A and B are shown apart, each in its own frame.
Chain A
Amino acid sequence: MKDNIVTVEHLSFTYKDSEEPAVKDVSFSIPKGTWTTLVGHNGSGKSTIARLLNGILLPDDNPKTLISIDGITLTEKTMWDIRDRVGIVFQNPDNQFVGATVEDDVAFGLENRQVPRPKMKSIVQDVLNQVGMTNFQESEPQYLSGGQKQRVAIAGILAIGPKLIILDESTSMLDPAGKFKILKLIRKLQKENELTIFSITHDINEAVHADQILVLDKGSLLASGSPVDIFKDVSLIKNAGLDLPLFYKIKNKLINEGISIPQEVNTEEKLVKYLCQLNSKM
């Protein structure tokens, strides 16, 4: 399809010191401008997929394997072009902070791309403003909270103007408030900059708002589809070693109690509204 920004076919990967492949024959695609969430149990190979998508890891040799991002097929030669289009926010906010201060860190990607200094200055200002960290421009990382460090990491990625942002468990080390703020910020940025988001998480509640969900278990893709389709299948979620999101748990409990809830009620707000209507009818 033309509108897919990411196409992955027959992707397998085996780590050097293990016999079992970490990723087994995975194929999926991500439409442009959407939010796709990859969920899976710990050790299911989620982070490996993130690293395969921009060539930090190279897939097992298989002529049928194809990774294509924004129309470019990933090879060792095109790796650097792909890294210009893909930004990854990693899990640990401390260990991805390269610069000694916030602005140095944001400028790191620009330095690597040999952007001249006056242009760097204005880009750094602009992206720090977008993530709301302008006041911390000269701060050193030890004075920032985890959430603030992740904001800086996002700014560093925005600076290079990517098409796709991969969130590799970016919120798993943050407290609930920090997590919520980061996800809200990314949603805002997605709309403003027409970005495609590929988020990887083991927190199933983060998946509720995605356009597409991919379920990974022991390296294989179990299912893909919209949240409604995926969470309908309770046994699938159980098989993947996951738990249903709170919303679906409540919905299922209500259905079990004999309250019929139509399929199209798929968000918290709709459920609240529906239950209130139901209450007034009874």
Chain B
Amino acid sequence: MSKIIIGRYIPGNSIIYKMDPRGKIIATFLFIVIIFLANNWLSYLFLSFFTLLAVGATKLKPKVFWDGVKPLIWLILFTSVLQLFFTTGGKVYWHWGIFNISEYGIQNSIFIFIRFVMIILISTVLTLTTTSLEIADGMEWLLRPLRYLKVPVAQIALVMSIALRFVPTLLDQAVRIMNAQRARGADFNSGGLIKRIHAIIPILIPLFISSLTIAIDLATAMEARGYREGAKRTRYRVLRWSKYDWVNLGYFALLTLILLLTRTY
């Protein structure tokens, strides 16, 4: 499980850590949109430069970013190779049946490759430097306009924070159940597909029951501590917008401007 980089947080104290999660979430989404503005070598150069600057600003080891890209590397290569062989236009260097390597093909496959890597890098910057709790808080703030559509944002926020708080507890629980079943002879790592699916049942059912038990206990404890559904509550945890967040948004505004200027039509 520890290999999955998505959703992992690495503590640190560089400038990116001091930023408000709302700003970082907005910037990440904005980045995925503006990346499509780039359509020539110069704009991709700027894009890569800005992304690598953001990656560098986290002051984390390059290896953790490589871990982020690694699980998707086959998808990236596959897409790039498809682009390489099936795009026509410009000078044709090689041709065989339906395959051909053309000037545009090479260019497009490199662009796609850069685009993929940059999106992964930027979203890794977000998840590595922001705790899941901060992301939930940020998301809640960003969902707030939905209140006008009668969406129960406060309840959703509570659900999110409780869900996040119980992820490690349930993971622990799952490992414990697996070990207990192993001690009784269960085998999770061999056999065919059907056999393996069967082996999961003795993990899933106890896990399901224990999550229901936790839910009942937790609901009792919450009520005993004065929680009333739908009642107004104050908030202990608040997000604070700082000068770093203006830097963050300014940085992305600048990138957008450069991409618009360098874009060829």
- Interface residues of A, Cβ cutoff 8 Å to B: 51, 54, 56, 80, 83-84, 86-88, 90, 92, 94-101, 103-104, 107-117, 120-121, 124, 140-142, 156-157, 160
Q: How far is B234's CA from A117's CA once the two chains are assembled, in angstroms?
A: 7
**Do residues A80 and B226 form an inter-chain contact, with CB atoms below 8 A?**
yes
Q: Which residue of A lies closest to B165 (CB)?
A: A100
- Interface residues of B, Cβ cutoff 8 Å to A: 133, 161-162, 164-165, 168-169, 172, 213-214, 217-218, 220-228, 231-238
Q: Which residue of A lies closest to B168 (CB)?
A: A142
Of the candidates B218, B228, B236, the one whose C-beta lies within 8 Å of that of A120 is B236
Q: Which residues of B contact A108 (CB under 8 A)?
A: 222, 225, 227, 236
User: Distance (Å) between the CB of B86 and the closest chain A CB?
Assistant: 48
User: Distance (Å) between the CB of B259 and the closest chain A CB?
Assistant: 37
Q: Which residue of A lies closest to B169 (CB)?
A: A94
**Do residues B234 and A99 form an inter-chain contact, with CB atoms below 8 A?**
no
Q: What's the count of A-B pairs with C-beta under 8 Å? A: 95
User: Distance (Å) between the CB of B208 and the closest chain A CB?
Assistant: 15
Q: Which residues of B contact A110 (CB under 8 A)?
A: 234, 236
Q: How far is B223's CA from A51's CA once the two chains are assembled, in angstroms?
A: 11
Of the candidates B221, B224, B228, B237, the one whose C-beta lies within 8 Å of that of A95 is B221
Q: How far is B227's CA from A113's CA once the two chains are assembled, in angstroms?
A: 8
Provided the pairs A95-B218, A95-B221, A112-B228 are in contact, do residues A124 and B236 lie with their beta carbons within 8 angstroms?
yes
Q: Which residue of B lies closest to A114 (CB)?
A: B234
User: Distance (Å) between the CB of B196 and the closest chain A CB?
Assistant: 28
- Pick 30 A–B contacts, CB within 8 A, sort by A: A51-B220, A56-B220, A56-B223, A80-B228, A83-B225, A84-B226, A87-B224, A95-B213, A95-B217, A95-B218, A96-B217, A96-B218, A96-B221, A97-B165, A98-B162, A99-B161, A100-B161, A100-B164, A101-B133, A104-B236, A104-B237, A107-B236, A108-B222, A111-B234, A112-B227, A114-B234, A117-B238, A120-B236, A121-B236, A157-B225
